[in-house]
Amino acid sequence: MLPRDERNGSAVKCQEIVPRSSCEIITRDRKVPNPYISTLCGNKVQSDTFTTRYLHNMAAKEEGSGDRQEPEASDEYLTCFEVDKDRILSSSAFRRLARKTQVFAFPEDHLRNRLTHAVEVSQIASRISKATGLNANLAEAIALGHDIGHGPGGHAAEEAFAKFIPDYFRHGPFGADVVLAPMNLCSQTLDGIRNHSWSMPLPATAEALVVSFADRIAYCTHDLEDALSIKLIDKAMLPSDVIFVLGEDKKTQVNTLIAEIIYCFKNFSVIGMRKEYGEALLAFREFNFEFIYKSSEVEKANEMFINLNSQLVEFYIDNPLLLPSSVVWKQEGGKDLVKRAICYVASMTDDYALQLGREFLGFNRFIPYSINATCH
């Protein structure tokens, strides 16, 4: 349910402050790592040459078919990161994001779900990458796939699965290493998806760092917009210092933060924000935690999904023959069945998980609050 891995009331201050030319820059770490240089295979295509020629020297380069687990021939028309983006967009796992919770469970017409969130993150990351000369193809691929590992109810699934194997299930690594593994994506794409959360190790490319910021910009602004649309909160509640720095409406806030990241990259060669803007974004996030993500309405739905996910995993552990034969997650040790059960439940949409809960478990909890009457 929450938009990040951190599920406590206060935001984790994992930013670093970097002094550069008498200016403090807030980044995910003290410096942007060197661009990911990989061993590439396959033949160059004309678009590879065109793309590389106009990229910043910190950008990830794409040549041939890319650095993949299984070597393959180059696509006749698409660069390697465009191939990744195409495979993610065409996958059933991406389509299932349309029925997975962003913040508000079972959203109707106007509220975000995990798929629309991924699209908004991709748009923001693409704008930043194109303006800075980074590789927009890679940024878009990472952004579209960054939340593909979420289970039913979003972050509630992570909390439920932790009861079985503590600190095992995290949506970034699960998305990269399990859900997307059959697609044979480029290592840079998988690395960015695996490590997009701020609580994870730094990713290997500048484009992945852009996606980390784009993710935070997107969910802070659009989750507020959704909460306002259902009258969960009032606009006057937003801190005045956030409004002063970032603006009052979503469009202004997004544009201000995008412009700030572009400014810092062009002037200081880092993916980050000056202190004033970074602190405003942090205050924005803390406000969302206090008044949206930790609100009683959202917490009730969150509790329902924790119970549902937990009971489904227990059910499939007790009834392994009901697990589809396609769910194979071979691991050494005695917890293989537990991981298979988690893998299957994590792949479900909110609707399908609730359907199975009612069918097999007599799970009769409906969504504990209604948004239909207040949407406009």
- pLDDT over 80 (residue 176): yes
Say if residue 332's pLDDT is above 80: no
Residues 352, 358: Cα–Cα separation, whole Å: 10
Percent share of the chain, pLDDT over 90? 70
Answer yes or no: is pLDDT of 174 > 70: yes
C-beta of residue 144 within 8 angstroms of C-beta of residue 88: yes
Report angle CA 114, 118, 123 to the nearest 5 degrees: 150
What are the structural domains, with CATH classification, of the chain? 16-34+41-68+86-295 (1.10.3210.10)
**Residues 77/81/87/90 CA torsion (nearest 10 deg):** -80
Residues 275, 292, 13, 159: what is their CA dihedral angle, to the nearest 10 degrees? -150
Cβ contacts of 196 within 8 Å, gap of 6 or more: 142, 146, 172, 203, 208, 211, 212, 215
| pLDDT tens-digit readout, 261-299 | 999 999 999 999 999 999 999 999 999 999 999 999 899
pTM for the whole structure: 0.85
pLDDT band at 359 (very low <50, low <70, confident <90, very high): very high
CB distance 297 to 367 below 8 Å: no
- Mean predicted confidence (pLDDT) in 236-262: 97
CA distances from 201 to 96, 168, 194, 196 (A): 27, 16, 9, 9
d(CA 82, CA 65): 10
Per-residue pLDDT, averaged over 22-28, amounts to 73
Residue 310 binned pLDDT confidence (cut-offs 50, 70, 90): very high
For residue 110, the model assigns a pLDDT of: 85
pLDDT tens sequence across 101-113 = 999 887 667 899 9
Both tokens of residue 82?
A: 């465009």
When pLDDT is averaged across residues 311-319 and rounded to a whole number, the result is 95
More confident: 226 or 364? 226
Which of 15-19, 136-140, 170-174 reaches the highest mean pLDDT? 136-140
Average pLDDT over residues 296-309: 92
Give me the torsion for CA of 299, 304, 308, 314, rounded to 10°.
Answer: 70
Nearest to 204 by CA among 147, 258, 254, 135: 135
**pLDDT score of 49 more than 80:** no
Q: What residues are paired with 273 via a beta bridge?
A: 26
- 121 touches 146 (CB < 8 A): yes
- At residue 34, does pLDDT exceed 50? no
Task: Give the separation between CA 200 and CA 326, rounded to whole angstroms.
Answer: 29
